C-alpha cells in the first residue's frame, strides 16, 4: 500500500469492521494532477485503500490513501480528472478495489477494474487486490524442473516449477519475444492455469498474445490483466496486485498457476511516479523510498504452498543497460533463475541472445539436474570461461595462432554456443524459420556429442538455428 506524503498518517486499516449502512462522505477541496483532497463531512472515517465515488461522475474511482485531521488524500484511478471540480460530493464504498477471481475470468482480457474487453463484467466472485503473503511456514521450495523446450534455458539455466524467473535485458533485446515463446512452449504441456499481467506495455503485444492463446485453444484456461502504457501511473502500479490476486485464488483452490508479468520494471516505475505525485521524498536515483517493500509485497505473494505451485516468469527492463540500477537489483534479489540477455550476443546474431556467464539458476545442482546433465553442464561451463579468454586472443592474432589444445577448446565451445541458438514459434513469420521444441534430455545428448568431438568436422554455422542434431541430420 502506498503511504501518504510527509506529515501524513495512514487511516484506519481494512481489517476494521465497517458499518455497511454508513460510509464516509466528503466534499472535494482541491484536484492536483492525479490526487484529490477531500474534506470529510461525516462522522464515519474512511479506510486505507477504500474506493470512493464522485457524485454525477460514477465512472471515476478514487482510492483513499492518507488522512490529516478532517482531510483525506485520494488517488484518481480513472483515466481522466477533467470531470472533477471543487465542491463535488464524494462517498466511500466501504470496500477496497476488488477484481473478479476464479474460473469466471478464464478466457478474458481484463483491466484493473475487472472489466472485460468483451464488455462482460457481471462477475459474481470478487477479491480485494491487497492481501498478505502466505505465512513463511506454508511456503514450499521448488524441487522440480519445468521444461520449456528452449535449449539454452533448459540446459544452462533451468526453470524451477513453483519458482521465480526473470528475463532481464535492455531495450530491444527480445524480452517479450522470449517470454512469449516460453508461454507458447509450456502452456499446452502443463496442467495449470495461466495468468498474464501486462504492466505498462503496448496493448498490441497483449492483443497478439490473446489471439495466439485463442489459436492454440488454451484461452479457456488463461486470464490476461492489462494496464496499458498510456494509462495513468496508479492503474499501472496496481495491475500487478490485481493479477497476483487472481493467481493466488487459483493456487489456494489447489490449481497450479503459470504467472507471467511483462514488465516488472514498469511496475517499479509506476510506483515511483505515484510516489512523486504524492510528494514523497525520493531515495536513491530518484526511486521511491519504499521500492524494496513494494517489490517484496508482490513477490512474496507469488509463492508455492502445499496446495499448489505458482511459477512466476517476469521480464525486467534494464534502463541504459545498467544492471546496477536499484529497481533491477531489487527485483533480481527475489529470482531463482535469472536469464540475462546480452546486446553483444544479439549483434553476433545469436538468438536468444542469452549471456551464458552472467545468467544463473539455483537449480544447477547434481541432485536436481541428474548426474549426466550436471556433468555435461559442468564441463561446458569450465570451457566457457576459457573460451572468453581465447576469443580475445583470437580477435588480435587470429584463431590459427592458438595452440592445438586451445584451438580445440575454442572451436568446440563455439559450436555449443551456436547450437544453443534456436528458431522460435513466436517469430516464425518474421524470420521464416520454423520453430522447434527440444527436450532437455536431447539437448544434453547433443552437447555431450559436440564436446566429445563428434562434430569437429562440421562447420560452426551449420549448428545455428536448428533443433536437435538428429533433426538437422548432423549426426
Question: What span, in angstroms and rounded, lies between the C-alpha atoms of 399 and 392?
Answer: 10
Find the catalytic residue in 25, 67, 175, 415.
Answer: 175
Reported residue count of the chain is 475
Query: Distance between CA 268 and CA 240 in Å, rounded?
Result: 10
How far, in Å, CA of 66 to CA of 77, rounded? 15
Q: How far apart are CA 360 and CA 355, in angstroms?
A: 10
202 is catalytic: yes
Task: List 227's β-bridge partners, or say none.
Answer: 199
From the list 182, 195, 199, the residue with the least C-alpha distance to 316 is 199
**Known catalytic residue at 433:** no
Q: Given the residues 50, 147, 201, 273, select the one marked as catalytic.
A: 201
**How many alpha carbons lie under 13 Å from residue 142 in its C-beta half-sphere?**
27
Compute φ and ψ for 67, nearest 5 degrees.
-130, 140
Q: Which of 266, 109, 287 lies closest to 175, judged by CA?
A: 266
Closest residue by Cα to residue 299 from 274, 336, 354: 336
Instruction: Look at strands 193-201 and 159-160 and give their pairing.
Output: unpaired
Distance CA(246)–CA(236), nearest Å, equals: 16
Residue 77 grid coordinates: 484511478
375 is catalytic: no
Active-site residue, selected from the candidate residues 89, 103, 202, 343: 202
The residues carrying an active-site annotation are: 175, 201-202
Amino acid at each position: 500500500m502506498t503511504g501518504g506524503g510527509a506529515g501524513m498518517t495512514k487511516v484506519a486499516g481494512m481489517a476494521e469492521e465497517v458499518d455497511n449502512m454508513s460510509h464516509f462522505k466528503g466534499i472535494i477541496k482541491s484536484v492536483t494532477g492525479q490526487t484529490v483532497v477531500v474534506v470529510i463531512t461525516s462522522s464515519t472515517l474512511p479506510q486505507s485503500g477504500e474506493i470512493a465515488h464522485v457524485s454525477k461522475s460514477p465512472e471515476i474511482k478514487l482510492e483513499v490513501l492518507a488522512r490529516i485531521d478532517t482531510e483525506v488524500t485520494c488517488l484518481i484511478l480513472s483515466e481522466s480528472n477533467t470531470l472533477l471540480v471543487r465542491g463535488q460530493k464524494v462517498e466511500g464504498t466501504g470496500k477496497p478495489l476488488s477484481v473478479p477471481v476464479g474460473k469466471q475470468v478464464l478466457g478474458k482480457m481484463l483491466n484493473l477494474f475487472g472489466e472485460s474487453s468483451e464488455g462482460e463484467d457481471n462477475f459474481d466472485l470478487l477479491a480485494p487486490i491487497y492481501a498478505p503473503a502466505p505465512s513463511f511456514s506454508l511456503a514450499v521450495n521448488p524441487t522440480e524442473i519445468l521444461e520449456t523446450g528452449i535449449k539454452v534455458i533448459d540446459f544452462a539455466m533451468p526453470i524451477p516449477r513453483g519458482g521465480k524467473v526473470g528475463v532481464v535485458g535492455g531495450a530491444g533485446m527480445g524480452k517479450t519475444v522470449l517470454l512469449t515463446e516460453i508461454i507458447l512452449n509450456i502452456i499446452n504441456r502443463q496442467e495449470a492455469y495461466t495468468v498474464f499481467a501486462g504492466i505498462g506495455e503496448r496493448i498490441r503485444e497483449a492483443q497478439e498474445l490473446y489471439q495466439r492463446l485463442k489459436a492454440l485453444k488454451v484461452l479457456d484456461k488463461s486470464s490476461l490483466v492489462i494496464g496499458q502504457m498510456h494509462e495513468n501511473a496508479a492503474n499501472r502500479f496496481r495491475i500487478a496486485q490485481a493479477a497476483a490476486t487472481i493467481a493466488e485464488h487459483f493456487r489456494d483452490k489447489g490449481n497450479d498457476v503459470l504467472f507471467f508479468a511483462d514488465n516488472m520494471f514498469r511496475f517499479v516505475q509506476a510506483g515511483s511516479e505515484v510516489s512523486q505525485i504524492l510528494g514523497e521524498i525520493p531515495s536513491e536515483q530518484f526511486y521511491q523510498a519504499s521500492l524494496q517493500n513494494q517489490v517484496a509485497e508482490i513477490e512474496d505473494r507469488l509463492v508455492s504452498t502445499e496446495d499448489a505451485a505458482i511459477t512466476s516468469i517476469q521480464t525486467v527492463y534494464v534502463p541504459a543497460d545498467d544492471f546496477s540500477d536499484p529497481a533491477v537489483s531489487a527485483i533480481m534479489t527475489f529470482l531463482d533463475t535469472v536469464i540475462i540477455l546480452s546486446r553483444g550476443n544479439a549483434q553476433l546474431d545469436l538468438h536468444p541472445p542469452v549471456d551464458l556467464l552472467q545468467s544463473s539458476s539455483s537449480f544447477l545442482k547434481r541432485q536436481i539436474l541428474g548426474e549426466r546433465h550436471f556433468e555435461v553442464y559442468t564441463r561446458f561451463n569450465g570451457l566457457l570461461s576459457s573460451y572468453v579468454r581465447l576469443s580475445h586472443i583470437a580477435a588480435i592474432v587470429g584463431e590459427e595462432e592458438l595452440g592445438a589444445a586451445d584451438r580445440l577448446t575454442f572451436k568446440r565451445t563455439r559450436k555449443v554456443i551456436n547450437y544453443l541458438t534456436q528458431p522460435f514459434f513466436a517469430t516464425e513469420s518474421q524470420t521464416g524459420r520454423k520453430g522447434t521444441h527440444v527436450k532437455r534430455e536431447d539437448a544434453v545428448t547433443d552437447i555431450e556429442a559436440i564436446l566429445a568431438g563428434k562434430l569437429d568436422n562440421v562447420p560452426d554455422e551449420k549448428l545455428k538455428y536448428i533443433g536437435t542434431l538428429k533433426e538437422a541430420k548432423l549426426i
